[in-house]
Amino acid sequence: MTTAPSDMSFSVQVPGAGPAGAHALEWSGSSLGTVFAQRRNLLRPRFLGMLCELLRFNRLCTQLATRGDDDALVRPLGDFLDHHGFSEAFRHWYFLPMLGCIWSCPTDQMLRFPVATMVRFCHNHGLLQVQDRPQWHTVAGGAHQYVARLLQGLDARLATPVERVRRDEASVYIHAAGATERFDAVVLAVHSDQALRMLEHPTAQEQAVLGAIRYQANRAILHTDTTVMPRHRAAWAAWNYERSADGVRESASVCLHYWLNRLQPLPFAQPVLVSLNPVRGIDPMRVLGEFDYDHPVFDIGAMAAQRRLPQLQGVWHTWYAGAWAGYGFHEDGLQSGYRAADLLLAQWRRREAA
């Protein structure tokens, strides 16, 4: 697949972050100019303190990633922040917005994630360094390019939802569209909760592992209404977090605005945005499409379930794959699929050799 450089810059909008609740905070981490897109932040002690804490946080997490003990890595993020004395400004102006952008999860829920989820991902992806960050790439033409490539070698049955998967000692039976087909094995490359719903008579272990991972519903709107972006153009980034002034709403969902022109080489100059759970109204005349997604929540229960997933592989001729088995990204889905295929083929080779 042909790839193109991608921009993974990040910005934050927080309403009422100034003295006595006045003024919105806006900043982006691309350069010193974007960090201080609001010149008043040069004289704001809490903002300058947050930047110092950011450097301390990066050093601490790098140490944990390279030589952290297990007890520290399983601690919830909220306890981690309390233990190391990170301020409210650091939490709400940088840390939680950054993680919300990565995992499309309400910021309050992020505090229950284990330290390991955050530390390992950020370290592996070069997010714990201010300088010399790796160049990210995207598939040229968008994700549908590799989906189309995969479909070329598949007997794909589109718009044919699987109603149930029945298994016995010798085979797997797929019930779909009023018909039943028999197979030697099945790979359930879907969300874990979807896999569990498909299974007829799931085992107790399947129920425990697949049922342990929760999902966050998110609404995405494709549009061209730039009024949702930071007021200062210098603060615009590829990923733009906007905190809701409504605490209940902030606890229920995260608001993000993706600037697609920065993420992908789109063939036009007009800004095209995807807003996830927007907290402000979007001009209906500028809406191009609306979509619903479910994103896995990588809390302590999910991490424990991931560690138990190998125990399910191959039992009752059933294998599991999906981004939920990693960090929730396309690459995790790919790696999970390769792993399931390797295990399945290895089992078949052993049977043939026996």
pLDDT in tens, 270-324: 999 999 999 999 999 999 999 999 999 998 899 999 999 999 999 999 999 999 9
- The token duo for 77 is 């993020």
Nearest to 59 by CA among 119, 134, 136, 125: 119
Q: What is residue 206's predicted lDDT score, i.e. its pLDDT?
A: 98
In the predicted model, what is the mean pLDDT of the chain? Answer: 90
Domain ranges in the chain?
44-136, 144-213+299-353
Rounded Cα distance, 47 and 117, in Å: 26
Pairing of strands 214-223, 239-242: unpaired
3-class SS at 26? strand
Residue whose entry in the numeric block shows the structure tokens 């100059």: 269
Q: What is residue 259's predicted lDDT score, i.e. its pLDDT?
A: 95
Nearest to 9 by CA among 254, 330, 236, 266: 236
pLDDT in tens, 104-120: 888 888 888 888 888 88
What's the distance, CA 191 to chain centroid? 13
pTM reported for the whole predicted model = 0.88
pLDDT in tens, 193-247: 999 999 999 999 999 999 999 999 999 999 999 999 999 999 999 999 999 887 7
CA distances from 270 to 18, 143, 225, 264, 277 (A): 32, 21, 10, 13, 22
Rounded Cα distance, 42 and 27, in Å: 11
DSSP code per residue over 303-319: HHHHHHGGGTTTGGGEE
Percent of the chain with pLDDT strictly greater than 70: 97
Q: Is the pLDDT of residue 83 over 60?
A: yes
List the CATH code of the domain at 144-213+299-353. 3.50.50.60
